[in-house]
């Protein structure tokens, strides 16, 4: 943990009060100009809370400031479990977050803070994402991360987990928690969180030590995921999915929203409706990078032992042809040869078949 200046310490102290709403904390920061002055002049606190008719908050904050040792103790307790911290008055506070309506006052961190300075893309979706879409999520995440584009997501099962897996090897992952950074919710994601740190990734939260996730914490967390990123890929979700909050924030902040396509009869109402409302339908990392003017590493030619039929069929699947009948029609290859080639392509890890019998490319 680096040495914090007095303005940073004052912000951590103020933000540690869970029962003081964000709007009151932000108002006090604006009134004081320099947060460190909060320790020297309680008149502004009194005047403000009297104006908003919150005398109990005025009394609580002034008592805490006047009690010997309370300020330092509050700061130390808030920082437990974190490797470092970034506040609104820190030099390395993310530029992208400064311009959203409700920037986090404090960001507690574990891991590699330098990732905050890189280009970032959010990838989020449902816990119940279908297997084919999970594979596509991992593939897109991997290609972006290997091109030095940081993946920003949560830590839940499903789409979040596969977004993390895609970027894990490169270390280009930021996982934003809805509770303190020192504890993982759900606990089943403990190993995954440790791997993020071990591989050079970053865990972030606006909540101090001791704060557990609450119902409202997740939508609030999602504004950070959207705010940090140049664009957000929504891979799955129903209309009541938490991913809709991320999409909504991204739209509000002027970020580009991307969605994976869903066919007739498939789940994915959120993606379908977002596309109808103007979100960009994508199937590859290349499409996302091109839209955001980000550099993507050149694709290397697959050095695979494919015969002529396998190459032709694989090329068609990469173009979006998904059924065996359609592949036969497009390729003019006999159906029995199609079936044989599809089996070989599956064995070589190049394609996957979903629950409806359609095929998708994995590489």
Q: What is the pLDDT of residues 268-292, one digit of tens each?
A: 889 999 999 999 999 999 999 999 9
Q: 84 lies in a domain?
A: no
Angle between helix axes 6-15 and 70-79 (nearest 10 degrees) is 80
pLDDT on residue 304:
61
Together in a domain, 321 and 186: no
Cα torsion 290, 247, 220, 117 to 10°: value is 0
Angle between helix axes 43-51 and 55-66 (nearest 10 degrees) is 160
Q: Does the reported pTM lie above 0.95?
A: no
Q: 127 lies in a domain?
A: yes
Task: Please check whether residue 74 is in contact with residue 9, taking contact to mean a CB–CB distance below 8 angstroms.
Answer: no
pLDDT band at 108 (very low <50, low <70, confident <90, very high): very high
Nearest to 11 by CA among 29, 32, 31: 29
Together in a domain, 242 and 337: no
For 337-358, the pLDDT digits (tens) are: 999 999 999 888 888 888 778 8
Together in a domain, 257 and 312: no
Q: 351 lies in a domain?
A: yes
Beta bridge partners of 176: 204
Together in a domain, 219 and 317: no
Q: Please say which residue of 25, 59, 79 terminates a domain.
A: 79
Q: 53 lies in a domain?
A: yes
Together in a domain, 285 and 322: no
Together in a domain, 70 and 157: no
Q: What is the domain range of residue 357?
A: 308-361
Q: How many folded domains does the chain comprise? A: 3
SS3 category, 152 = strand
Report how far residue 243's alpha carbon sits from residue 293's, in angstroms, rounded to the nearest whole number. Answer: 24
Task: Please check whether residue 166 is in contact with residue 233, taking contact to mean a CB–CB distance below 8 angstroms.
Answer: no
Together in a domain, 193 and 266: yes
Q: Taking 50 as the threshold, does the pLDDT of residue 300 lie above it?
A: no
In which order are the strands placed within the sheet that holds 120-124?
Answer: 84-87, 106-111, 202-205, 173-176, 150-153, 120-124, 231-234, 256-259, 280-281
Together in a domain, 218 and 261: yes
Q: Taking 80 as the threshold, does the pLDDT of residue 215 lie above it?
A: yes
Report how far residue 74's alpha carbon sits from residue 89's, in angstroms, rounded to the nearest whole number. Answer: 18
Report how far residue 181's alpha carbon sits from residue 159's, in angstroms, rounded to the nearest whole number. Answer: 20
């Amino acid at each position: 943990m680096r040495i914090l200046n007095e303005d940073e310490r004052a912000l951590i102290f103020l933000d540690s009060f869970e029962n003081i709403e964000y709007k009151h904390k932000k108002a006090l920061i604006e009134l004081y100009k320099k947060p460190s002055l909060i320790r020297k002049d309680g008149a502004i606190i009194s005047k403000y809370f009297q104006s908003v008719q919150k005398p109990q908050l005025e009394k609580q904050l002034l008592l805490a400031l006047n009690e010997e040792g309370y300020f330092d103790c509050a700061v130390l307790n808030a920082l437990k479990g974190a490797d470092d911290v970034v506040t609104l008055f820190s030099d390395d506070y993310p530029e992208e977050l400064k311009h959203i309506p409700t920037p986090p006052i404090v960001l507690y961190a574990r891991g590699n803070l330098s990732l905050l300075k890189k280009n970032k893309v959010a990838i989020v979706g449902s816990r119940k994402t279908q297997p084919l879409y999970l594979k596509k999520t991992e593939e897109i995440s991997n290609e972006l991360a290997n091109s030095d584009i940081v993946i920003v997501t949560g830590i839940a099962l499903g789409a979040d987990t596969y977004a993390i897996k895609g970027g894990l090897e490169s270390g280009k992952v930021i996982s934003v928690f809805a509770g303190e950074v020192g504890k993982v919710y759900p606990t089943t994601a403990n190993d995954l969180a440790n791997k993020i740190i071990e591989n050079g990734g970053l865990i972030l939260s606006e909540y101090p030590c001791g704060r557990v996730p609450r119902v409202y914490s997740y939508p609030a967390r999602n504004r950070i995921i959207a705010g940090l990123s140049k664009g957000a890929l929504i891979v799955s979700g129903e209309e009541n999915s938490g991913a809709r909050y991320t999409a909504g924030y991204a739209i509000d902040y002027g970020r580009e929203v991307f969605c994976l396509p869903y066919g007739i009869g498939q789940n994915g109402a959120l993606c379908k409706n977002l596309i109808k409302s103007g979100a960009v339908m994508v199937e590859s990392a290349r499409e996302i990078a091109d839209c955001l003017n980000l550099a993507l590493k050149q694709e290397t030619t697959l050095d695979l032992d494919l015969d002529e039929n396998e190459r032709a069929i694989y090329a068609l699947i990469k173009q979006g042809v998904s059924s065996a009948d359609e592949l036969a029609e497009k390729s003019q290859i006999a159906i029995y040869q199609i079936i044989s080639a599809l089996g070989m392509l599956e064995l070589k890890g190049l394609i996957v078949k979903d629950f409806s019998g359609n095929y998708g490319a994995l590489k």
